Structure 1
Amino acid sequence: MATQAPNAAPLPLLYNSLDALNSGQHGNMKLRKSYDLPQVGQIHAVPVTVEEFTIVQRYYPIIFSAGENSVPLALFGLNEGVNTYFDAAGRPLEKNTYVPAYLRRYPFLLAKLRPDTDELSLCFDPTSGSIADDADGPALFDGDQPTETTRNILAFCEQFETAGQRTQAFMDELQKSGLLIDGEVAIQPEGVDQPFLYRGFRMVDEEKLRDLRGDELRKMNQSGMLPALYSHLFSLSQVREIFARQVEQGKGPAGAKLPETADA
């Protein structure tokens, strides 16, 4: 285990600080069984890996961030700071909601301790409140050795890192394909004269995808890229679900109302 924390900035979303996990400093620390993450309830999107697309598309829209270095995101709300899936404590509002791996990894991650090496070490955010000497969960170390809990955390972070590399390769190919375009979604509820427009993201151009040559489509299918693209496209129908959730939760735009249901 590493003995010093990385000082690189900026830190990833949710992370306020990083300490390298080691038995010398953290030998008596344990995980808390339950703790709040209010910052989760204040974010409207998190990164997702390409391996998650097929399950994520059942719960959230999958969009791509604006700019040249796009990353895939699971969308929780249509406006900054609006989250319709997690409460103020950072807990899912619905029991069976899928929690993206990015959130399940927090407060841990793998990071480089020195710029002159590619070695990654297990680190954590000490401000998360999830680790403490007096916590009520499993220990992180047994003497100077990591416990099974810590080994499992490390394995999950390694899997996430590998998935992240595959996602970067997917995004590189997607950028080369020329299929990404600036996205726009228009939602016009009943009784509203003008539709609500949502922009500031990227999406796959479905028409360009249909017009690709057969050999290009075959290559995408064999690489696993094509199913991921259709998962993204299918997921976009969830944008209207988010709009409805925002209105229902009192977080929607002024004047937006849900359609009235007829009495049985």
Structure 2
Amino acid sequence: MATQLLIYGQVEAVNKQRHLDWSIKAESHYGFAKQVNSVPLMAVEFPSAAEDYSIVFAGEGDDLLPVVIMGVRQDENLYIDEKGDWKANYIPAFIRRYPFVFASTDAGKTLTLCLDEDYAGCNQEGRGERLFDADGEQTHYLTKVLDFLQDYQTHYQRTQAFCKKLNELDLFEEMGAKFTLPSGEERTLTGFKVISREKLKALPQEELMALMANDGLELIYLHLHSMRNLNKVLQRLPKVQSEPDQPSIEIEESAEVH
């Protein structure tokens, strides 16, 4: 999960002393995420993301979060083409909030809005949306950015609670997926967790009812259904002209999704 930070470069707290004359010109390309093969996903995003991505889980303990798989190799995002266009209907909120991010030094009690000053859209020539007006007051644009990140933070906390409950119920198992690429190269995708169907079936009825009541069961089934999209990820690999065969995937039995 450390790779998620690679989309941020020179991160600085947003303030009117430093950024009074700064503007943000939204870029239409996503080259900043080209080398990230998974990003966090909030629980509220499952219905939209499940059509395009495989949703799995990464991390340990309180740091466990859902993520979407976007590549089968290190530093590879197969959902971004050579022009920097995002090739899927849904773009995760983690990506859409860039170049802004909340930072905290006290375990999330105090949040500070920060900006990646390396973002290509940052400028002091008035292109795009200003962060502050001539009087040093935050603009409507900056207010919308703050609202979006505060909403993201709220969903982040809800997602943490969801994952904590799944952990308490001991529903996770390690995922292992073996890939055979058109070139004949074999690779294994590990480091992620999935929900075990067998463990889910073995849950006491009262726990299942509790999951159903708070929409947790729906999220679980969306996750399980999304595992079918691993083949879609492979189909995004660059075609090898001399090898017309489609790449294939084999999910290890312990994490098989039917």
How many angstroms apart in 1 are the aligned matches of 2:22 and 2:127?
10
- Given that 1:42 and 1:88 are in contact with CA atoms closer than 8 Å, whether structure 2 keeps it comes out as no
- What amino acid maps onto 1:171 in structure 2? C
How many angstroms apart in 2 are the aligned matches of 1:18 and 1:46?
18
TM-score (norm 1): 0.82
Matches within 5 A, 1:69-148: 69-88=63-82, 90-94=84-88, 97-112=89-104, 115=106, 118-142=109-133, 143-148=135-140
Please list the CA deviations of residues 13-32 of structure 1 after superposition, one character each: whole Å capped at 9, or x if unmatched. Answer: 42223211112221111111
1:116 positional shift: 9.8
Please list the CA deviations of residues 58-88 of structure 1 after superposition, one character each: whole Å capped at 9, or x if unmatched. Answer: 1100011154442211111112122211124
How many angstroms apart in 1 are the aligned matches of 2:218 and 2:231?
22
TM-score (norm 2): 0.83
Deviates more, 1:117-126 or 1:167-176: 117-126
Identity %: 26
How many angstroms apart in 1 are the aligned matches of 2:44 and 2:196?
21
How many angstroms apart in 1 are the aligned matches of 2:183 and 2:8?
42
User: How many pairs align?
Assistant: 244
How many angstroms apart in 2 are the aligned matches of 1:183 and 1:209?
16
- Given that 1:57 and 1:231 are in contact with CA atoms closer than 8 Å, whether structure 2 keeps it comes out as yes
Gaps of 5+ in 1: 1-8, 260-264
- Provide the alpha-carbon RMSD of the alignment: 3.0
Per the alignment, residue 176 of structure 1 pairs with 168
1:211 positional shift: 2.1
Per the alignment, residue 49 of structure 2 pairs with 56
CA 1:255 to 1:186, structure 2 compared with 1: closer, same or farther past 3 Å? farther
Deviates more, 1:177-186 or 1:235-244: 177-186
- Given that 2:27 and 2:120 are in contact with CA atoms closer than 8 Å, whether structure 1 keeps it comes out as no
Deviates more, 1:76-85 or 1:31-40: 31-40
Q: Does 1:39 align with 2:1?
A: no
Judging by fraction of residues, say which structure has more strand: 2
Per the alignment, residue 189 of structure 2 pairs with 198
How many angstroms apart in 1 are the aligned matches of 2:202 and 2:79?
36
- What amino acid maps onto 1:155 in structure 2? D
1:188 positional shift: 6.2
1:43 positional shift: 1.1
Per the alignment, residue 241 of structure 1 pairs with 232
Out of 21, 27, 44, the residue aligned to residue 14 of structure 2 is 21
- What amino acid maps onto 1:198 in structure 2? L
Runs of 4+ in structure 1 deviating by more than 4 angstroms, as ranges, are 114-117, 186-192, 194-197
Q: Does 1:150 align with 2:142?
A: yes
How many angstroms apart in 2 are the aligned matches of 1:138 and 1:223?
39
